[in-house]
Structure 1
Amino acid sequence: MNPNDGFRELGRQECLDRLGAVAIGRVVHTRDALPAVLPVNFSLDAESAVVLRTPADSELARSIDGVVVAFEADAVDAAAHSGWSVVVTGRALVVDDPAEHDRLARTGPRSWVASPHDVFIRIASELVTGRELVGGISLYGIDLRS
Protein backbone atom coordinates (compact mmCIF):
# COMPACT_ATOMS: atom_id res chain seq x y z
CA MET A 1 0.00 0.00 0.00
CA ASN A 2 1.22 3.50 -0.79
CA PRO A 3 2.29 5.20 2.47
CA ASN A 4 0.97 8.50 1.14
CA ASP A 5 -2.61 7.30 0.66
CA GLY A 6 -3.50 7.79 4.34
CA PHE A 7 -3.71 4.10 5.23
CA ARG A 8 -1.37 2.07 7.38
CA GLU A 9 -1.31 -1.72 7.43
CA LEU A 10 -1.75 -3.18 10.91
CA GLY A 11 0.30 -6.11 12.16
CA ARG A 12 -1.40 -9.22 13.53
CA GLN A 13 -1.01 -8.22 17.20
CA GLU A 14 -2.23 -4.67 16.50
CA CYS A 15 -5.30 -6.17 14.83
CA LEU A 16 -6.01 -8.45 17.79
CA ASP A 17 -5.52 -5.59 20.25
CA ARG A 18 -8.09 -3.52 18.36
CA LEU A 19 -10.55 -6.41 18.24
CA GLY A 20 -10.22 -6.75 22.01
CA ALA A 21 -11.33 -3.14 22.41
CA VAL A 22 -14.73 -3.45 20.67
CA ALA A 23 -17.77 -5.61 21.34
CA ILE A 24 -19.59 -5.68 17.99
CA GLY A 25 -18.48 -7.09 14.66
CA ARG A 26 -19.93 -8.68 11.54
CA VAL A 27 -19.85 -12.28 10.35
CA VAL A 28 -19.62 -12.64 6.58
CA HIS A 29 -20.85 -15.99 5.30
CA THR A 30 -22.79 -17.54 2.44
CA ARG A 31 -26.58 -17.91 2.52
CA ASP A 32 -28.31 -19.49 -0.47
CA ALA A 33 -25.12 -19.01 -2.55
CA LEU A 34 -25.12 -15.26 -1.81
CA PRO A 35 -22.99 -13.23 0.59
CA ALA A 36 -24.64 -12.51 3.93
CA VAL A 37 -23.48 -10.18 6.69
CA LEU A 38 -24.76 -10.39 10.23
CA PRO A 39 -23.83 -8.08 13.13
CA VAL A 40 -22.92 -9.97 16.31
CA ASN A 41 -21.36 -9.39 19.69
CA PHE A 42 -18.19 -11.38 20.29
CA SER A 43 -15.08 -11.91 22.37
CA LEU A 44 -11.57 -13.19 21.73
CA ASP A 45 -10.38 -16.37 23.38
CA ALA A 46 -6.88 -17.29 24.50
CA GLU A 47 -5.88 -18.61 21.07
CA SER A 48 -6.93 -15.32 19.41
CA ALA A 49 -10.03 -16.92 17.92
CA VAL A 50 -13.25 -14.94 17.63
CA VAL A 51 -16.02 -16.46 19.77
CA LEU A 52 -19.73 -15.91 19.12
CA ARG A 53 -22.74 -17.05 21.15
CA THR A 54 -25.99 -17.84 19.40
CA PRO A 55 -29.06 -20.07 19.84
CA ALA A 56 -28.36 -23.67 18.82
CA ASP A 57 -31.29 -23.64 16.38
CA SER A 58 -30.30 -20.35 14.73
CA GLU A 59 -29.71 -20.02 11.01
CA LEU A 60 -26.23 -18.68 11.82
CA ALA A 61 -25.22 -21.77 13.80
CA ARG A 62 -26.48 -24.08 11.06
CA SER A 63 -24.95 -22.18 8.15
CA ILE A 64 -21.40 -21.52 9.36
CA ASP A 65 -20.45 -24.64 11.33
CA GLY A 66 -17.45 -26.17 9.59
CA VAL A 67 -17.05 -23.57 6.85
CA VAL A 68 -14.62 -20.72 6.25
CA VAL A 69 -16.07 -17.32 7.11
CA ALA A 70 -14.83 -13.78 7.50
CA PHE A 71 -15.33 -11.68 10.60
CA GLU A 72 -14.91 -7.90 10.50
CA ALA A 73 -14.88 -5.26 13.21
CA ASP A 74 -13.98 -1.60 13.07
CA ALA A 75 -14.05 1.75 14.78
CA VAL A 76 -14.48 5.10 13.09
CA ASP A 77 -14.08 8.66 14.35
CA ALA A 78 -16.04 10.69 11.81
CA ALA A 79 -14.98 14.02 13.32
CA ALA A 80 -11.27 13.18 13.08
CA HIS A 81 -11.62 11.34 9.75
CA SER A 82 -9.79 8.35 11.18
CA GLY A 83 -10.47 4.77 12.07
CA TRP A 84 -9.48 1.17 11.59
CA SER A 85 -10.86 -2.08 10.23
CA VAL A 86 -9.78 -5.65 11.01
CA VAL A 87 -10.78 -8.84 9.18
CA VAL A 88 -10.32 -12.35 10.59
CA THR A 89 -10.72 -15.21 8.13
CA GLY A 90 -10.92 -18.82 9.26
CA ARG A 91 -12.96 -21.93 9.79
CA ALA A 92 -15.97 -21.57 12.09
CA LEU A 93 -16.79 -24.49 14.38
CA VAL A 94 -19.50 -24.99 16.96
CA VAL A 95 -17.86 -25.79 20.30
CA ASP A 96 -19.10 -29.26 21.18
CA ASP A 97 -16.79 -30.13 24.09
CA PRO A 98 -18.89 -29.82 27.30
CA ALA A 99 -15.99 -28.55 29.42
CA GLU A 100 -15.08 -25.93 26.85
CA HIS A 101 -18.74 -24.89 26.55
CA ASP A 102 -18.92 -24.48 30.34
CA ARG A 103 -15.72 -22.40 30.33
CA LEU A 104 -17.05 -20.15 27.57
CA ALA A 105 -20.37 -19.79 29.41
CA ARG A 106 -18.37 -18.18 32.22
CA THR A 107 -15.79 -16.23 30.20
CA GLY A 108 -17.15 -15.81 26.66
CA PRO A 109 -19.55 -13.32 25.15
CA ARG A 110 -22.93 -12.79 26.77
CA SER A 111 -26.00 -13.31 24.64
CA TRP A 112 -28.08 -10.20 24.03
CA VAL A 113 -31.14 -12.37 23.44
CA ALA A 114 -31.54 -15.11 26.03
CA SER A 115 -31.94 -18.65 24.76
CA PRO A 116 -32.08 -21.82 26.84
CA HIS A 117 -29.84 -23.65 24.33
CA ASP A 118 -26.98 -21.39 23.25
CA VAL A 119 -23.94 -22.65 21.41
CA PHE A 120 -20.55 -21.03 21.06
CA ILE A 121 -18.97 -20.70 17.66
CA ARG A 122 -15.22 -20.30 17.41
CA ILE A 123 -13.73 -18.68 14.29
CA ALA A 124 -10.07 -19.59 13.97
CA SER A 125 -7.80 -16.63 13.26
CA GLU A 126 -6.08 -18.27 10.29
CA LEU A 127 -5.68 -14.96 8.46
CA VAL A 128 -5.80 -11.61 10.29
CA THR A 129 -5.51 -8.37 8.34
CA GLY A 130 -6.22 -4.77 9.14
CA ARG A 131 -5.61 -1.22 8.22
CA GLU A 132 -5.89 2.15 9.83
CA LEU A 133 -6.95 5.41 8.22
CA VAL A 134 -4.62 7.96 9.73
CA GLY A 135 -6.28 11.23 10.74
CA GLY A 136 -7.68 13.37 8.01
CA ILE A 137 -6.20 12.18 4.75
CA SER A 138 -8.76 11.08 2.20
CA LEU A 139 -8.30 8.57 -0.58
CA TYR A 140 -8.03 11.47 -3.04
CA GLY A 141 -5.15 13.21 -1.28
CA ILE A 142 -7.29 16.05 0.06
CA ASP A 143 -6.28 17.11 3.55
CA LEU A 144 -9.47 16.93 5.65
CA ARG A 145 -7.88 18.09 8.87
CA SER A 146 -8.62 21.77 8.36
Structure 2
Amino acid sequence: MTAPSRHVTRRTEQLGRQEALRLLKSAEIGRLIFSHQALPAVRPVNHALLDDLIIIRAHTGAALLGPARDGAVVAYEADAFDLERRTGWSVVVTGEAHLVKDPELLRRYQAAVEPWVDSEMTHVVSIGLDMVTGFRIGMENEE
Protein backbone atom coordinates (compact mmCIF):
# COMPACT_ATOMS: atom_id res chain seq x y z
CA MET A 1 0.00 0.00 0.00
CA THR A 2 1.47 3.33 -1.01
CA ALA A 3 1.26 6.45 1.11
CA PRO A 4 -1.08 9.14 -0.21
CA SER A 5 0.41 12.20 -1.87
CA ARG A 6 1.33 14.97 0.53
CA HIS A 7 -0.01 17.49 -2.01
CA VAL A 8 -3.61 16.43 -1.51
CA THR A 9 -5.84 18.43 0.79
CA ARG A 10 -8.54 16.46 2.56
CA ARG A 11 -11.60 17.92 4.19
CA THR A 12 -14.36 16.66 6.41
CA GLU A 13 -17.89 17.48 5.31
CA GLN A 14 -20.97 17.01 7.46
CA LEU A 15 -23.69 15.09 5.65
CA GLY A 16 -27.31 16.10 5.48
CA ARG A 17 -29.92 13.61 6.61
CA GLN A 18 -30.96 12.48 3.11
CA GLU A 19 -27.38 11.96 1.90
CA ALA A 20 -26.52 10.08 5.11
CA LEU A 21 -29.53 7.78 4.65
CA ARG A 22 -28.65 7.22 0.98
CA LEU A 23 -25.15 6.10 2.00
CA LEU A 24 -26.51 3.95 4.83
CA LYS A 25 -28.82 2.21 2.37
CA SER A 26 -25.82 1.41 0.16
CA ALA A 27 -23.88 -0.25 2.99
CA GLU A 28 -24.04 -4.02 3.27
CA ILE A 29 -23.10 -4.24 6.93
CA GLY A 30 -22.98 -2.02 9.98
CA ARG A 31 -22.41 -2.13 13.71
CA LEU A 32 -25.20 -2.13 16.26
CA ILE A 33 -24.31 -0.47 19.58
CA PHE A 34 -26.48 -1.15 22.63
CA SER A 35 -26.30 -1.72 26.36
CA HIS A 36 -26.05 -5.31 27.58
CA GLN A 37 -25.83 -6.08 31.30
CA ALA A 38 -25.05 -2.39 31.94
CA LEU A 39 -22.05 -2.46 29.57
CA PRO A 40 -21.61 -1.29 25.96
CA ALA A 41 -22.02 -4.04 23.36
CA VAL A 42 -21.27 -3.91 19.64
CA ARG A 43 -22.43 -6.44 17.05
CA PRO A 44 -21.80 -6.47 13.30
CA VAL A 45 -25.08 -7.02 11.43
CA ASN A 46 -26.51 -6.63 7.97
CA HIS A 47 -29.56 -4.45 7.56
CA ALA A 48 -32.22 -3.00 5.30
CA LEU A 49 -33.64 0.51 5.35
CA LEU A 50 -37.42 0.27 5.02
CA ASP A 51 -40.38 2.37 6.14
CA ASP A 52 -38.03 4.96 7.70
CA LEU A 53 -36.57 2.24 9.92
CA ILE A 54 -33.39 0.22 10.06
CA ILE A 55 -34.39 -3.44 9.97
CA ILE A 56 -32.16 -6.23 11.29
CA ARG A 57 -32.73 -9.87 12.16
CA ALA A 58 -31.76 -11.68 15.35
CA HIS A 59 -31.77 -15.21 16.69
CA THR A 60 -33.43 -16.40 19.88
CA GLY A 61 -31.09 -15.63 22.77
CA ALA A 62 -29.42 -12.67 21.04
CA ALA A 63 -28.24 -10.03 23.53
CA LEU A 64 -30.10 -7.35 21.55
CA LEU A 65 -33.53 -8.84 22.21
CA GLY A 66 -33.69 -7.55 25.80
CA PRO A 67 -33.11 -3.90 24.85
CA ALA A 68 -35.49 -4.26 21.87
CA ARG A 69 -38.24 -5.60 24.13
CA ASP A 70 -37.80 -2.54 26.33
CA GLY A 71 -37.70 0.01 23.50
CA ALA A 72 -34.14 0.99 24.49
CA VAL A 73 -32.18 3.63 22.62
CA VAL A 74 -29.45 2.10 20.46
CA ALA A 75 -27.01 3.36 17.84
CA TYR A 76 -26.26 1.95 14.41
CA GLU A 77 -23.13 2.86 12.48
CA ALA A 78 -22.09 2.04 8.92
CA ASP A 79 -19.18 3.33 6.91
CA ALA A 80 -16.96 2.84 3.88
CA PHE A 81 -13.35 3.97 3.61
CA ASP A 82 -10.68 3.88 0.93
CA LEU A 83 -7.56 3.25 3.00
CA GLU A 84 -5.17 4.05 0.17
CA ARG A 85 -6.72 7.42 -0.68
CA ARG A 86 -7.74 8.13 2.95
CA THR A 87 -11.28 9.05 1.97
CA GLY A 88 -14.67 7.71 2.95
CA TRP A 89 -17.80 8.27 4.94
CA SER A 90 -19.47 7.30 8.21
CA VAL A 91 -23.13 7.47 9.25
CA VAL A 92 -24.53 7.01 12.76
CA VAL A 93 -28.23 6.59 13.52
CA THR A 94 -29.59 6.79 17.04
CA GLY A 95 -33.10 5.60 17.79
CA GLU A 96 -35.35 3.28 19.74
CA ALA A 97 -35.14 -0.44 19.05
CA HIS A 98 -38.36 -2.47 18.98
CA LEU A 99 -39.22 -6.09 18.32
CA VAL A 100 -41.47 -6.37 15.29
CA LYS A 101 -44.54 -8.37 16.29
CA ASP A 102 -47.07 -7.62 13.56
CA PRO A 103 -47.16 -10.86 11.47
CA GLU A 104 -47.47 -9.07 8.11
CA LEU A 105 -44.56 -6.70 8.84
CA LEU A 106 -42.54 -9.57 10.27
CA ARG A 107 -42.84 -11.57 7.03
CA ARG A 108 -42.08 -8.50 4.90
CA TYR A 109 -39.02 -7.51 6.90
CA GLN A 110 -37.71 -11.09 7.10
CA ALA A 111 -37.88 -11.26 3.30
CA ALA A 112 -35.95 -7.97 3.00
CA VAL A 113 -32.99 -8.95 5.20
CA GLU A 114 -31.21 -12.20 4.44
CA PRO A 115 -29.04 -13.26 7.41
CA TRP A 116 -25.36 -13.89 6.79
CA VAL A 117 -25.29 -16.79 9.25
CA ASP A 118 -27.11 -20.11 9.20
CA SER A 119 -28.94 -19.81 12.48
CA GLU A 120 -32.61 -19.38 13.19
CA MET A 121 -32.87 -15.61 12.71
CA THR A 122 -36.59 -15.54 13.39
CA HIS A 123 -36.74 -12.22 15.27
CA VAL A 124 -36.86 -8.84 13.57
CA VAL A 125 -35.78 -5.62 15.26
CA SER A 126 -36.61 -2.16 13.94
CA ILE A 127 -34.58 0.92 14.83
CA GLY A 128 -36.07 4.39 14.50
CA LEU A 129 -34.22 7.13 12.60
CA ASP A 130 -34.53 9.64 15.45
CA MET A 131 -31.06 11.14 15.02
CA VAL A 132 -29.06 10.74 11.79
CA THR A 133 -25.54 12.17 11.56
CA GLY A 134 -22.68 11.57 9.21
CA PHE A 135 -19.55 12.90 7.61
CA ARG A 136 -17.48 12.39 4.50
CA ILE A 137 -13.71 12.73 4.18
CA GLY A 138 -12.91 13.86 0.66
CA MET A 139 -10.06 15.26 -1.39
CA GLU A 140 -10.19 18.90 -2.45
CA ASN A 141 -7.42 18.97 -5.03
CA GLU A 142 -4.47 17.03 -6.37
CA GLU A 143 -1.23 18.23 -7.84
Unaligned runs of 5+ in 2: 1-8
* Structure 2 counterpart of 1:92: 97
Task: Report percent identity of matched pairs.
Answer: 37
Q: Which moved more, 1:26-35 or 1:114-123?
A: 114-123
Amino acid in the other structure paired with 1:121: V
Structure with greater strand share of residues: 2
* Structure 1 counterpart of 2:72: 67
Displacement of 1:115 in angstroms is 3.5
* Structure 1 counterpart of 2:17: 12
Amino acid in the other structure paired with 2:138: V
Q: Which moved more, 1:38-47 or 1:124-133?
A: 38-47
Of residues 28, 33, 39 in structure 2, which corresponds to 1:28?
33
Unaligned runs of 5+ in 1: 137-142
**TM-score for the superposition, normalised by structure 1:** 0.83
Retained in 2: the 8 A contact 1:8–1:131?
yes
Displacement of 1:81 in angstroms is 0.8
Of residues 68, 80, 85 in structure 2, which corresponds to 1:80?
85
* Structure 1 counterpart of 2:133: 129
Please, what is the CA RMSD of the aligned residues? 2.0
* Structure 2 counterpart of 1:139: none
Amino acid in the other structure paired with 1:8: E
Q: What is the CA–CA distance in structure 1 between the aligned matches of 2:10 and 2:82, rounded to whole Å?
A: 18
Amino acid in the other structure paired with 1:64: A
Q: What is the CA–CA distance in structure 2 between the aligned matches of 1:78 and 1:117, rounded to whole Å?
A: 33
Q: Deviations over 1:7-53 (max 9, x none)?
A: 10000000000011111000111122221111111110032x11101
Retained in 1: the 8 A contact 2:60–2:120?
no
Say how many residue pairs are matched. 134
Retained in 2: the 8 A contact 1:56–1:118?
yes
2:117 matches 1:113: yes
> Structure 1 pair 120/40, CA: closer, same or farther in 2 (3 Å)?
same
What secondary structure does 1:128 align onto? strand
